[in-house]
Structure 1
Amino acid sequence: MYTAKGTLNRDDQLRKYSPLVRRLAHHMIAKLPPSVEVDDLIQVGMIGLTEAIARFEPSQGVQFETFASQRIRGAMLDELREGDWMSRGSRKSQKDIEHAVHRLQQKLHRAPMESEIAAELGMSLADYQHMLAKVRGTQLVYLEDISGRDDDDEGFLDRHMGDDEADPSSLLQDQRMRMALVEAIKNLPEREQHIMSMYYEHDMNLKEIAAVLGVTESRICQLHSQSIARLRTKLREH
């Protein structure tokens, strides 16, 4: 595993940890729009792994896999920051949905139904569901959150995932934000609560959730996007 100079053997480590790169890429791609290619993330992730091998110092007291995971994820996030992976149209649609949800929550003092959101947007239920499908993959984060180009001074991902010293598996490190998210999920309609629980707590992808609930994957995509709009609306208050 180590060379005669006491450094990690690059080829051995690349072979051993390339499955880690693929695993991290597939985990990340499940929460990104379909326009992002998993092969692109794997490619930049391998670059991150190569850099991790070159920079790893056993004396730092950190396990290599932990160190490498941080570098790999960092490389993938840098790639996402450089590319506009969510179209302007999709971003506008997501914001339109969020604003409609916010207006209805203020007026109704409850979570609005799907048909009510559609009516607030001035469109048919079918057109609204088509809009939800178009913004498929938008998670609690999207481009403005990563780049900090929207209303926030600092990007959401930069705050919660971009620090090499932070645990890369912890998206919401701030306790207040974590509690707000838990509370927001509790206030979702019951079916959407189940979907978000399976997606975030159990790391199930949309296809797996669809199989459990006995509906189509496209329907889960719609409900997931709608749930995200509700959660983002609520989290903006914190």
Structure 2
Amino acid sequence: MKSVVYNPTETREERLTRHLPMVKRIAGQMAAQLPASVDIADLEQAGMIGLWDALERGLEQSAAQFGAYAAIRIRGAIYDELRRQDWLPRRSRTQERSIQKGIQALTQSLRRPPEDVEIAAHLGWTLEAYQAALAQSSLQLVYLEDLSPGEGLDFTERHADNSIAQPDAALQDEQLERDLQSAIMELPERERMILSLYYQEDLQLKEIGQVLDVSESRVSQLMKQAVMRLRASLQAHGAAPAR
């Protein structure tokens, strides 16, 4: 069966308009995995730039090839924009990596979730220094730079290839969800409860502290420690690359 080629008389603006739903769909999917502070309109604007770039470079592709290629360019442009807006200082990111690796090593050796004092001792930090590092950490499960670890190239340039279609990510997403559910079940009971109260019951940190009879700052520390454990577990399953 012969591939359908785009009408050569169709203008770039017409093609752009025809693929706007793809931009909105991809931006919406990515926004669902990002902090609420990220404006979906910004993602859509970046995605539009990726779509326009795809139209500039992929004029001779078949319909199926262009759809896959455009999705790569759209997603890549959004990743690159988010990386440029990354708010976490490099020093804090380095500390997070150290904590994550420490948790992973201790979990493997102890065969149980390590206590915060054990993590601090493993890192050679005081408990106060460890808790201060937690306070500066983020709640992001997987970093954008983890998703695009190449040297000297942005996500779009590394993944754009006119000759191949975008791999279907559905199975990978399902595996990530299973790994995440498993990692949550392995959390210490109190940390698992905090995540449940925060994300499912919509309680504020202060309210969770009242339920658990701890301070709001302690709830924040435990929540971020839970995220560190989840990252370590996902990395162990190959879902989140180490840095």
* Alignment TM-score, normalising by the size of structure 1: 0.58
Residue 94 of structure 2 is matched in structure 1 by: 92
Name the structure 2 match of 1:190. 185
Q: Secondary structure at 1:94's aligned position in 2?
A: helix
Identify the residue that residue 73 of structure 2 maps to in structure 1: 71
Name 1:41's counterpart in structure 2: 43
Deviations 1:162-210 (CA, angstroms, capped at 9, x unpaired): 254352652887xxxx98x689657625176xxxxxxxxxxxxxx9994
**In structure 2, what residue type is equivalent to 1:130?**
A
Runs of 4 or more, structure 1, over 6 Å off, are 33-36, 217-221
Q: What residue in structure 1 maps to residue 114 of structure 2?
A: 112
Which residue pairs with 1:232 in the alignment? 235
Aligned to 1:130: 135
CA distance in structure 1 between the aligned counterparts of 2:150 and 2:171, rounded to whole angstroms = 17
Give, in whole Å, the separation in 2 of the partners of 1:70 and 1:188: 29
Which sections of structure 1, spanning at least 5 residues, go unmatched?
A: 193-206
Equivalent residue for 1:196?
none
State how far apart, in whole Å, the 1-side matches of 2:32 and 2:92 are: 17
In structure 2, C-alpha distance between the alignment counterparts of 1:74 and 1:100, rounded to whole Å: 31
Deviation of 1:73 (Å):
1.4
Counterparts of 2:139 and 2:58 in 1: how far apart (Å)? 37
Residue identity opposite 1:123 in structure 2:
L
Question: What is aligned with 1:201?
Answer: none
Q: Aligned residues: percent identity?
A: 28
Larger radius of gyration: 2
Listed as ranges, the gaps of 5+ residues in structure 2 are 1-6, 188-194, 206-218
Change (3 A) 1:20 1:186: closer
